[in-house]
Amino acid sequence: MEYPKTFIQLPDIPDEVESASQAYEIAFSIARVGDGLGWRQLVKKIRPNVFESLVQWWQNELEGRKQESKEQIPQVVDKAIEIISPLMAVALVGVESGREQFRNQKSFLDDLLNITRWNAARYTTWVNIPNALGYVYHSLHGGLCLNTNQIDLALNLARVKISDKYNTKERIQIWKIHDLVGWVDYIGPDCIECWEYLANAFERWKWLQLIFGNDPKEYRTSLVAYYMALNIHELAAIIASGQQEKLNKNYDTSFPFDFNIPLTFMSEHQDIYQRAVFLLRRNPDTVPELWTRLGVTHEQMENSWRNWVSLYESWLKNVYRASADKASAGSWQTCYPNFLYHQDVFETL
């Protein structure tokens, strides 16, 4: 049957969406035509099934079971991602669409961090897997935002305030919580392994090709650009809080500076790193939001930039001091070209 040119056939929404790829295709068709009702129906069908499956898997496979090896944890998180991936794919389509009615996906992050019936009342080995899911999601979300020129949306999510397990008295912005930005206990023992887990996900989760394209470099470039943006925002936050003494040239570099955002993104290949800089500065009108929304001026950022970058060296050397024993990890030697390049980055923003 041929449809009139003015008629758009919307996809049927099955009772069960079995994969992230299927969810992506349906969500893409709905978002493309701006069908808000169809979008809500899709989420209503997928969401309860996904979270029910996640809780059932945890109760059947993990509850009461001890960790057998450190290699087991990333595999368990991969399984959790596989279960949650249809809903994650829908959320990322909303971002990709750029449509105001779909692109705000803060509620999905809240869903991941507060899974109903996830037994957090007593300690188990696996109780904080939701934080690992949150780390993966906001990183993919931020990378896609930078890829699609929506730096404002990336920053909006990173600045969402939640309760931190280490500080229950106040709500803290996502980018300040180590367990969500690169020191994720349930992925690896340090930020190097957490970055490797995330950066290598493109090969493990084939549905990411629908979102970032077939080139793994595009995916890694997007992640680097996002974490670079968070790093710039962290500098602005320090200036805005009146703690510029932390950036003093006389800072004792024998004690590495305590960054909120890990600099592990600097271990990527120099080609990817430079592509990420180009991606970040693609729209010079939006990059200043990283500091202007905090009331910080371009001049203040520029005057602090060199000192900020000088703090990188001791941090990177400290973090990568044992990387020679990790075949897959970066090293200070691999970071060094990017470190030199980064010294002049702010002049181009």
The sign one gets for the Cα dihedral 35, 36, 37, 41 is: positive
Supply the pLDDT for residue 5.
40
Provide φ and ψ at 283, rounded to 5°.
-125, 90
> Token digits for 105?
């996906």
How many Å apart are CA 264 and CA 184, to the nearest integer?
13
Question: Smallest Cα–Cα separation from 264: which of 191, 313, 321?
Answer: 191
Q: What's the pTM value of the predicted model, to 2 decimals?
A: 0.91
Supply the pLDDT for residue 168.
60
Supply the pLDDT for residue 322.
55
Q: 167-173 and 161-164: which strand pairing? A: antiparallel
DSSP 32-88: HHT-HHHHHHHHHHHHHHHHHHHHHHIIIIITTPPP--TTHHHHHHHHHHHHHHHHH
Q: How many CB atoms lie within 10 A of CB 35?
A: 18
Question: Smallest Cα–Cα separation from 8: which of 45, 34, 27, 36?
Answer: 34
**Tens digits of pLDDT across the chain (349 residues):** 343 443 345 567 776 788 999 999 999 999 999 999 999 999 999 999 999 999 999 888 877 777 666 777 888 899 999 999 999 999 999 999 999 999 998 899 999 998 887 765 444 667 788 999 999 999 999 999 999 999 999 999 999 998 765 556 688 999 999 999 999 887 877 899 999 999 999 999 999 999 999 999 999 999 999 999 999 999 999 999 998 888 876 666 667 788 999 999 999 999 999 999 999 988 888 899 999 999 999 999 999 998 899 888 888 888 887 555 554 456 777 888 888 888 888 887 7
Supply the pLDDT for residue 185.
80
> Token digits for 232?
């710039």
**What distance separates the 2 farthest-apart alpha carbons in the chain?**
75
Supply the pLDDT for residue 253.
61
């004792």: which residue's tokens? 252
Supply the pLDDT for residue 222.
97
Supply the pLDDT for residue 120.
55
Q: What is the 3-state secondary structure (H, E, C) of 120-174?
A: CCCCCCCCCHHHHHHHHHHHHHHHHHHHCCCHHHHHHHHCCEEEECCEEEEEEEH
Supply the pLDDT for residue 7.
39
Question: Smallest Cα–Cα separation from 268: which of 201, 323, 223?
Answer: 223
Q: What is the DSSP letter of 206?
A: T
Residue 19's SS3 state is coil
CA distances to 24, 98, 144, 206, 272 from 209, rounded to whole Å, are 11, 19, 12, 6, 17
